[in-house]
Amino acid sequence: MTNSPPAPRTPSPANAANLLTASRLVMAPLAVRAILLGQYRLALGIFVAAAVTDGLDGLVARRLGRLTRLGAWLDPIADKVLLSSAYLALGIAGALPWWLVGIILGRDILILAGAAAALLLTRERSFPPSVWGKLSTFVQLFTAVFVMVARAWPGTGLERWAGALAWPTAAATLWSGFHYAWRGWQALRNSRSRSGNSLAP
């Protein structure tokens, strides 16, 4: 009697990669507290730690074969929670204008609403980020870090440049929002088209 090979193990959601990702959700309120207390160097340290976990979680998941559906969903959520909460805190602290914070949070709400609508109205279950979405996230991150650096080391002349970064950040955010909306509309049209074809005799 031969022994059958063991069945492949399904990666557990509670693995090292997902724990690294979840740690960024813990870092978000710590970064907010540091910004609101004016401890910008501490806030920068938290962002550096978050960047390290962001690089490590994907590496660990791929190297150890620990890719999970939870991790795929949790990673962008953790990034967005950290960045959006930092912008909200920077707005409260007066380090960034409220109109920019409103644009960034409004785009995030639009994307979440679009994803929810796609889940309800279509068969789409994968929402990969677009190149414009990645670009806007990079610009937002660069601006937030630059503003914190300018606040952490005042008198260096960086404050005036920090204010100027609000405009390209707003432009990149708005453009990516329009692009996501267009992609969502196209997905909805394609889904309706496929549904119509499946009902045809």
The domains found in the chain, sorted by start residue, are 16-192 (1.20.120.1760)
The confidence score (pLDDT) of residue 71 equals 56
What is the per-residue pLDDT across 148-169, written as a single tens digit (0 to 9) for each? 999 999 888 888 888 889 999 9
Q: What is the DSSP string of 69-124?
A: HHHHHHHHHHHHHHHHHHHHHHHHTTSS-HHHHHHHHHHHHHHHHHHHHHHHHSS-
CA distance 197 to 180: 26
pTM value is: 0.78
The confidence score (pLDDT) of residue 33 equals 96
CA distance 73 to 69: 6
User: Poorest-confidence range of 33-42, 83-92, 187-196?
Assistant: 187-196
The confidence score (pLDDT) of residue 9 equals 46
What is the per-residue pLDDT across 176-189, written as a single tens digit (0 to 9) for each? 888 877 877 776 67
Q: Band of the pLDDT at 53, cuts 50, 70, 90?
A: confident
State the residue for tokens 């550096």.
48
Q: Is 5 left (phi over 0), alpha (psi -120 to 50) or beta?
A: beta
What is the per-residue pLDDT across 84-129, written as a single tens digit (0 to 9) for each? 999 999 999 999 999 999 999 998 888 777 766 666 666 655 566 6
Query: Do residues 12 and 120 lie in contact, with contact meaning Cβ atoms separated by under 8 Å?
Result: no
The confidence score (pLDDT) of residue 23 equals 83
**pLDDT averaged over every residue in the chain:** 78
Which amino acid, one-letter code, is at 100? L
